[in-house]
Chain A
Amino acid sequence: MRVTETAAIPKSPVAQRAPVRIEIDDDATPVVRLLGRTLRDAVRTGHAPEVLGRGTGTVAVRSHVTPQAATVTLHGGAVTVTGGVFAPADATLVVDLESRFAPTRDPDGDAELAGGMLRALRPPLPPWREAAEHFWDVTRGIRGVPDVLVAVAREPEGPQEARFGAGPSTYRMVGTPEALAGVFTGADYLLTSLESGLRVQGTLSQLSVMTAASWKVRFDV
C-alpha cells in the first residue's frame, strides 16, 4: 500500500527526543484523515508520547454508527493509519467520531494498548484563542474565506473577543470556550457544532466556505 508521509514537527522536549512519523493512505478516507490529523496534532503538542513514540501493535478504530473504520499501526516511533480493518487487531476501539473519539463500549483486546490509543486520540484542547489563531493560519487562504474572523467566547466573566484579519467581510462565531476550541482545532465539525449551541453570524455563502475551512482543520482536505 502506498502511503503519504505526513511528518510532524515536534515541539515539546519529549517529542524532540523521539520524533514520530504519522503516515496515512494515499487517497485516504475521512476517518483515516481524521485519525492522522488528530495523531499529528498529538505529536505536535507532545501529547501521549509513551504511546505514539514507543508503542507497538495494531489498533482497529471503528465508528459506533457507520461503517467507518481504520487500522492504526504503531511500530517503533512510526504510526501508520490505513483505511478499513482487514486483519485481526491487537485492540479494537468503538468510538463516536462526532464526539472526539468518545468510546461507546469497552475496548476489545490489549487493554493497555487500547487505553493508550484512546489517550492519544483525545488530547486536551488548547485555549480557544490559541485554537482560533491556528484555525485562521490554516484556513485563511481558502478561496472565499471572510476577510475577518471574530470569535467570541462566553466566559464566566463576560464575553471575550478575538479578531483575526482585516477587510470588509466579517464572520462571527460565538460559543463557549470549549465549543470554539473544538471547532477551531478540528476536534469538532462545524455543522455538528451548530446543532449543539455554537452560533454564527454571516451569510449562507460564508457558512458554505467555513464548512470547507472546518474540513481543512478536521480532515486536512
Chain B
Amino acid sequence: MSELTRPASTRSARTAPTRAVRLEATGHDGSFLGKTVTPAKFASGKESGFAFADILFAIDLGNAFVYGDAFPDWRGNLYDISMIPDMATLVQWKPGLEAVIGDYWLRDGRPVPICPRNMVRRLVERLQALGYTAKVAVEIETTLFAESVQEARARGYRDLTPLGGDTGATYHLARSKDWVDYMDAVTDRLDELGITWEAWTDEAAPGQTELNLAPSDPVSLGDSWVRTKQVMREVAFEQDRSVTFMAKPTAGFGQGAHINLSLHRDGENQFFAPGGPSEVMLQAVGGLMATMAGNTLLALPQITSYRRLVDISGPPTTISWGVNNKTAAVRAIVGHPKYARLEYRLPGSDVNPYYALAGVLAGVVAGIERRMQAPPQVDDMAWSLPYDSGVERIPDTITKAIAALEGDEILREYLGEEFVDFWVASRRWEWMEFHTKGGDPYAELSAWETRRYFEFP
C-alpha cells in the first residue's frame, strides 16, 4: 500500500506504488469531473487546493458556455476556484491510482455557493443544529446494453441491444450470464472500494438494473453514488458494454433514483412512532410537499427527465404522500424502529446526486424548523387524480419546474439565492438549447437527447 493510500476496506489491500492521484468532484450537471495528478503535485496541493477554472460550472453537456444570469462576484472572466480534497475519501481506485473527492472553495476560504457537495454539507450541519443526523440511501436504476460505447456512438445511441434480453419483467434470476457477469464485476469493484451496497436486481425495463446503496450520512452517500456510477461505466468499458443513466434511454421505461431518508437522535430513529408516522416525520413530509414543485428542477434536471412523468407507469406525477403508497411522490414507511423512513420517489437517474440530496434535505430541514404540517395523505392511487382532487400535479415540463423553483421562497432560503438563480438560468439555457439546436419536443425521444445525455452526466 502506498503512503498516500488509506484502505477503503480490508479487501483493498492491494499493493502498488502510487503513480497518480485522481481528483474527483461533480460539476453542476452531475458529471464526474477532475484531474489526474502526480503524487508530488498532490502532496503539494492537498491542503492548499488545486486550481480549476470556474467553467466547470459554466459548460453544458454540449460543450457550450451557459449564459443567462448575472454571475456572482467569484465568477469573473473565467476565474479559478480551488478544489480541496477531502482526505477522508482517499481510496486506491486501482493499483497505482489513488482517488480522492473534493469540494470547491473560494480564495477567501468560503465554500463556492453552488458547489454541490458543499451544499449537502451545509444542510447536514443545519440539521445537526436541530439535533438530528440523517441516514440516506439510494436506489440507482440504470440500463445496460450489449454493445460497446463505441458501437453505441456509431449508432447514435439508438437501436441498441438490452443486455440480458428484452423479455420478461422484473426480479428474474434467470437473466443470461452476460448480464449477471456485468453486475458481479460491478459489485466486486464496489467491495474493493469500500462502497457498501445492499442489493441489486433485474428491474422492469429491458436491460435495466437497480443497485441499492446502504444508508449512510448524506455526504458519504453522495460520494458513493457518484463513484458507483463511475464504476458502472468503467466495468462497461472493460466488458465492451454500454451503460446509461439517462432518465429515459429508450422510448419505453424511464429510470429513477429514489432517495430513502430517516432522521436519528441518540441512536433512535426519530421517524418511528408506534402506530404511524412520528411528529417529526410529518413535519418532514410537510416540508417535502411544500418544496416539491420547486425541487422538481433538481430532481428532474434535464429535458428527458420530464418524459418519465407518465401516469400509471411508475414515477410519481402528483405532489402527494402516503403510508406505503408507492404511487405517491413520497412513500412513508412506518411501524418499525429500524425501517421507518421516507422514500422520495421523484428524482430521475440523471440527477446530480448532491443537488438531489440537498433538495431533499432542504425540504426536511424547512419542515422541521417551520413546524410544517403534512397535507392529508393520499390513500387512493396517486396517479391520474382528477383536477378537483385537491392534489397538485408535479411540474411536467422543465419550464414549469423553472417557474416553480424561481418562485420558491423556502428553497431560496435553504439552498441559497445564488444557487437558485444559477440553477434556474442554467436550466433555462438547457431548454433553449434543446429547442433551438435540434431537439424535438413532439418525438418520444429525440436524437438530440440521446446524443447529449446517453454518456453523461
Q: Footprint of B on A, CB under 8 Å?
A: 27, 29-31, 65-68, 83-84, 97, 143-145, 191, 203-209, 211-212, 215, 221
Contacts and interface: CB of A to CB of B under 8 A. Distances in A.
Contacts of B441: 29, 67, 83-84
A203 B76 contact: yes
Size category of the B interface is: 20 to 34
Given A30-B432, A84-B442, 9 more contacts: A66-B435, A143-B70, A203-B76, A203-B77, A205-B75, A208-B69, A209-B70, A211-B68, A212-B69
A66 B428 contact: no
Interface string B62-82: 000011111100011110000
25 contacts: A27-B400, A29-B441, A30-B432, A31-B435, A66-B435, A66-B438, A66-B439, A67-B442, A67-B443, A67-B446, A84-B441, A144-B69, A145-B70, A203-B71, A204-B77, A204-B78, A205-B70, A205-B76, A208-B67, A208-B68, A208-B71, A209-B68, A209-B69, A211-B67, A212-B68
Contact of B435 (A30, A65, A205): A30
Contacts of A29: 435, 441
A24 to B, nearest CB: 13
Interface string B434-451: 011111111100100000
B131 to A, nearest CB: 37
Contact of B421 (A27, A143, A215): A143
Nearest to B432: A30
Contacts of A206: 70
Interface of B: 66-71, 75-78, 397, 399-400, 421, 425, 428, 431-432, 435-443, 446
A199 B65 CA distance: 18
A67 B439 CA distance: 7
Contacts of B446: 67
Nearest to B421: A143
Contacts of B428: 215, 221
Nearest 3 pairs of A and B residues by beta carbon: A144-B70, A205-B71, A67-B440
A143 B420 CA distance: 13
B405 to A, nearest CB: 15
B48 to A, nearest CB: 26
A66 to B, nearest CB: 5
A68 B66 CA distance: 21
Contacts of A65: 438
B69 A215 contact: no
A204 B71 contact: yes
A49 B436 CA distance: 29
Given A27-B399, A203-B76, A203-B77, A66 B67 contact: no
Contacts of B399: 27
A221 B436 CA distance: 14
A63 B342 CA distance: 46
Contacts of A30: 431-432, 435-436
Contacts of B69: 143-144, 208-209, 212
Contacts of B442: 67, 83-84
A31 B78 CA distance: 32
B67 A27 contact: no
